Amino acid sequence: MRVIAGKARRLLLKTLEGTDTRPTTDRIKETLFNILQSDLYGCSFLDLFAGSGGIGIEALSRGALEAVFVDSNPKAASIIRENLQRTRLEEQARVVLADAAAALPRLENHGRFDIIFMDPPYRKGLENAALAYLAGSSLADEETLVIIEADIDTDFSWTSECGFEVIREKKYKTNKHMFLKRKQEN
């Protein structure tokens, strides 16, 4: 895995060994960031279920002002820190070692994120709990773009119950990215 573009372009990133994480492939990451490019510069980026940190690091490399990385695995947090050092992006980053359910309340004093990306383990409903929390949180508002990476067959019809609407869906061979925003309050 590598950084595709920006100031850390071409630098290789370390990943976790084994099958506990599924690093987003370079091809899918490139497609995602082509979609996000105009929203990245100067943004505040939250990478939930961060794994090796590749998505948040790509965001920093392409101009995000800051990124917060959340993962519950101590080995993953260590690798994220190594990757941030390797890319010289550690001063713009914060790594939180906690599961998303515990980390989100701890981040409330941060204020709003512009982009929240989550790539939870598939078919465990963790995105449901995170989105339900974000619906009543200061971490996201109507301008925040929430992106969820999920298995291709994952149903997202429930998102409106949490106060979010799907604004875009990008499908790949075995997975997809869902782009959501909080519904406008009248």
Per residue in 149-163, pLDDT (tens digit) is 999 999 999 999 989
pLDDT at 107: 96
pLDDT over 90 at 164, yes or no: yes
Give the global pTM: 0.91
pLDDT at 183: 86
- What kind of fold does domain 26-182 have according to CATH? Rossmann fold (3.40.50)
Whole-number Å distance between alpha carbons of 162 and 177:
18
pLDDT per position as a tens digit, 51-80 = 898 999 899 989 999 999 999 999 999 999
Instruction: Output the average pLDDT for the chain.
Output: 89
DSSP string, 144-167: -EEEEEEETT---GGGGGGTEEEE
Q: Given a cut of 60, is residue 141 above it in pLDDT?
A: yes
Percent of the chain topping pLDDT 90: 70
Q: pLDDT-based confidence at 3, cuts 50/70/90?
A: low
Per-residue pLDDT tens over the stretch 99-109: 999 999 999 99
Split at pLDDT 50, 70, 90, the class of 140 is: very high
At 6 the pLDDT is 66
Summarize the confidence of residues 118-134 as an average pLDDT.
Answer: 92
In sequence order, which ranges of the chain are alpha helices (DSSP H)?
26-40, 54-61, 74-87, 100-106, 126-135
The predicted pLDDT at position 9 comes to: 61
184: confidence class by pLDDT, cuts 50, 70, 90: confident
Burial (0-12, 13-18, 19+ Cβ within 10 Å), 118? buried
